[in-house]
Structure 1
Amino acid sequence: MANNQGRRRRFGSVRQYRSGRWTAAYRAPDGLERRADQTFDSKRDAEVWLSQAEADLTRGTWHDPDAGAVNFREYALIWVKERRLGPTTDELYRRLLRLHILPTFGALDLDEITPPLVRSWRSERLDTTGADTTVAKSYRLLKAVLETAVEDELIRRNPCRIKGAGKETAAERPIATVAQVDGLADEMGPRWSLMVYIAAYGPARPEEQAGLRRPDVDLERVGVWVRTAEPELTTGRRAPGPTKSDAGRRFIVLPGFMAPHLRLHLELYAEKDPNGLLFVGERGKPFRRSTFGRKWRKARAKVGLPDNFRFYDLRHTGHTLSTQSGATLKDTMVRAGQSSERAALIYQHSTLERQREVAAGMDARIRAERAKAADTSDDQASGADLVQDP
């Protein structure tokens, strides 16, 4: 209990307890009294605390000390819901929260999450999982949630301050040769060979191909319209919806050799309904990753591709071939349905063979320039001799 030794100040007040320790309090902008969450050894210490609170109010940096008393789990789940994410991104974020973030931070309030705790959590995840890419994704998600908490004025600063922690440094993805793509198409069989070719030479995303229908095929111009996407979630449920971005809605012009493949597939394998799916299984059902995956793994091994070569990696093959065929960065972005140059550049590769071609071209150019210079020098020398002859 405080005695009457305190006095009113211009801002706030300080009081001394019977124990001899001091406390301080002030009226916050919301009209409520805010009392120090600790006691002080001296009156001066209490006044210093009060002066700091007054300075924060004057500078506009005052923060409600009770604002951060919000459970992180509840806040994070609401954060994901309010983003109205696509089904695959929503699934990814909830999985990262469940497996990597909530076990450490779920029971804490927002203001209990500190930079040292974040550093310790990240280190533990890296040591335990060995999955640098997954940890980077988890860190970015945690940082994004807490950045919104800063904007909501629930915490003063984002405790995620590890430089470069959200950057993914995955190894460059492998690419296939033209012969290997042909081999994959043969091994997958006639029902799925067109999907291999569109993935490699379109290049269309798997979920985009899952949404292709008969009217999307243009036999005259040899191409396909990508209008929607139908990703398959880990639960097995298909989630029809828009493409990954507006740039994903596009017409993909395919290499001319694919014209008979398109025609044959429509005749024999596409769903018979006028608006039927382009790719269906032997029983007429939409293709499933599980069934397709078994065939894919066998085909991949048969053509000598590494175990980490994914069906999605065929996009890298298509990008590399298009750029080597003279496509500009903008050409590549349009074909791949990408809205940023950074995304497009991820898929551009330069193989050792291509580097040798580039070096050979440079060698030829240098030799030609040297020869040209030598011829010019010889001509000048001959001219000088003629001038000096009597």
Structure 2
Amino acid sequence: MRIKRDDGGKPLTDEKGKRIKERDPERWGKGDRYKVRYYDPDGNEMSESFPDRQLRKAQAFLTKMQHDVLAGVFIDANAGKVNFKTYAESWLQGQSQDAATRQTLRSRLRSQLYPFFEKRNIGSVNAESVRDWLAWLRGRNLEVSTQAVYFDTLSSILSAAVEDKKIRVNPCKAQSVKKPKPAVRKVVPWPESRLRAVQLALPPRFAPTAELGAGCGLRQGEILGFSLDDVNRDEMLINVTRQIRVIGGELVFAPPKGGKTRVVPLAVGVLERLDHYAENFEPVVVTLPWLEPSGREVTVALLMVGNAGRPYSGSALNEVVWKPAFKRAGLAYTTKGDGMHALRHLYASMLLGRDVSIKELAEYPGHSDPGFTLRTYTRLLPSSRARARKAVDQVYVRSGQGNPGRPDDGPARSTVRLFAGQPVKPLKMFVNS
């Protein structure tokens, strides 16, 4: 507002002598009417302005800020104004020390998160924008399992923003946001005939692929990084300590997935095949950096390499060796069922069919959680009904006619004996009326 004046520039007054004000045509509606001042937890004075006719909103804001400071949940209104991409790059620096993991995360950010969120501030990412992003992912025809992976990445970034007090809550955890839930894919292990056909079709130089995958449960990178020096012949064990990975377009040695080294039982028949292979193809000494291209050099006598002693990457092995073997064997190749991971499924099915426990099965292939192993391979567990009856019959032995353990034998008329054939005395009950 400004002082109203007459044509001569003299201030006008009302009947009480008070100067009259009028709207300033140059400034009216261009500024805020109310300014809220408050202090953050560190004692710094903060402020927020509100336009005319928003006095109650300003008062409510002041009350909320005072409450948040006292409750220890204060969030600076300006903290969330950092660019999403800028914050995500900062978040990335605090993730796994494994170069391959950082490479994977960076690829996810660049392909499916930055194109949608990079022009937004971290504080403007809300439940509505997350739902829009999920619809955008579906429009790209991505697998539901792939969408779930990207969702977890976004949620991790936003959870970090909550911890850094950039935002108050993670919108990925809102009730209105549903994480993509892929259908549980049933593991169907190969029949042994399929394994034999692929074995015969593999080039002789890469024959150990099948033995190390289906016979030892090794992953693709672990197969490529295998050395006979890893074998403990006295105890018939394999020490799985490395794999070959690609970092920044270069091959490196790295620990197994998750950094978990492990020990795997080695069958005599598998060792004989590996030794026979080594008689025809002498192991090749290969030197590669450890973990990342700038890492220390490590030298290993690899069992299986390509032409001219060149080690292979997993993708090269797939395209040059694995997929062509199906064509030579006259087998149709499916992406979901015939990758080299199928060898590990076959390994699991062989162990489960021969009474190896879930705990052991989780340990040998290198799973981080026996629960994951159980969920993945539940269908492959052999029927337990007959075994359950047999186990109980070994404790509760029935005498007399009838087939022991059958639920349709009717009431037992003979004595039930528990442990070493000792009879169980009848229990007499007295009821006082």
- The bucket for the TM-score relative to the shorter chain is 0.7 to 0.9
1:80 aligns with 2:116: no
Instruction: Tell me the CA shift for residue 32 of structure 1.
Output: 4.1
Deviations, residues 222-273 of structure 1 (Å, cap 9, x unaligned): 442211222235x542232222235x31221122221221211222224344
In the alignment, structure 1 segments of 5+ residues that lack a partner are 4-16, 380-390
> Which residue matches 1:139?
151
> Which residue matches 1:342?
371
Alpha-carbon distance in 2 for matches of 1:371, 1:47: 75
Deviations, residues 11-39 of structure 1 (Å, cap 9, x unaligned): xxxxxx98597313213224444332432
1:158 aligns with 2:187: no
Aligned partner of 1:243 among 223, 241, 256: 256
Aligned partner of 1:120 among 128, 132, 138: 132
1:189 aligns with 2:189: no
Aligned-residue identity in percent: 21
Equivalences for 1:146-225 in 2 at 5 Å?
A: 146-161=158-173, 164-165=178-179, 167-169=181-183, 171-225=185-239
1:281–1:287: 8 Å Cα contact kept in structure 2?
Answer: yes
Alpha-carbon distance in 1 for matches of 2:282, 2:237: 16
> Which residue matches 2:426?
none
Deviations, residues 299-353 of structure 1 (Å, cap 9, x unaligned): 23536464122112211111121111111111112211223123323542535xx
Alpha-carbon distance in 1 for matches of 2:64, 2:147: 38
2:50–2:58: 8 Å Cα contact kept in structure 1?
Answer: no
1:26–1:33: 8 Å Cα contact kept in structure 2?
Answer: yes
Aligned partner of 1:296 among 322, 327, 331: 322
Letter paired with 2:253: P
Alpha-carbon distance in 1 for matches of 2:268, 2:62: 77
Alpha-carbon distance in 2 for matches of 1:86, 1:63: 33
2:362–2:373: 8 Å Cα contact kept in structure 1?
Answer: yes
TM-score normalised according to structure 2 size: 0.74
Letter paired with 1:27: Y
The 1:74/1:223 distance shift into structure 2, 3 A limit, reads same
1:333–1:344: 8 Å Cα contact kept in structure 2?
Answer: yes
The 1:261/1:292 distance shift into structure 2, 3 A limit, reads same
Alpha-carbon distance in 1 for matches of 2:349, 2:134: 35
Tell which deviates more after alignment, 181-190 or 27-36.
27-36
The 1:280/1:266 distance shift into structure 2, 3 A limit, reads same
The 1:190/1:57 distance shift into structure 2, 3 A limit, reads same
Tell which deviates more after alignment, 28-37 or 140-149.
28-37
Aligned partner of 2:35 among 24, 27, 38: 24
Letter paired with 1:46: A
In the alignment, structure 2 segments of 5+ residues that lack a partner are 4-22, 286-298, 394-401, 416-433
> Which residue matches 1:385?
none
Deviations, residues 276-297 of structure 1 (Å, cap 9, x unaligned): 1121113211123354223211
1:111–1:155: 8 Å Cα contact kept in structure 2?
Answer: yes
TM-score normalised according to structure 1 size: 0.81
> Which residue matches 2:396?
none
Secondary structure of the residue aligned to 1:36 is: strand
Instruction: Tell me the CA shift for residue 165 of structure 1.
Output: 0.6
Aligned partner of 2:405 among 345, 352, 369: 369
Equivalences for 1:224-303 in 2 at 5 Å?
A: 224-233=238-247, 236-245=249-258, 248-273=260-285, 275-294=300-319, 295-301=321-327, 302=329
2:38–2:66: 8 Å Cα contact kept in structure 1?
Answer: no
How many residues align structurally?
A: 362
1:226–1:252: 8 Å Cα contact kept in structure 2?
Answer: yes
Alpha-carbon distance in 1 for matches of 2:375, 2:100: 21
Instruction: Tell me the CA shift for residue 188 of structure 1.
Output: 0.8
The 1:154/1:263 distance shift into structure 2, 3 A limit, reads same
The 1:140/1:291 distance shift into structure 2, 3 A limit, reads closer
Secondary structure of the residue aligned to 2:35 is: strand
Alpha-carbon distance in 2 for matches of 1:130, 1:148: 26
1:320–1:347: 8 Å Cα contact kept in structure 2?
Answer: no
Tell which deviates more after alignment, 188-197 or 301-310.
301-310
Alpha-carbon distance in 1 for matches of 2:373, 2:131: 32
Q: Which has the higher strand share?
A: 2
The 1:275/1:306 distance shift into structure 2, 3 A limit, reads closer
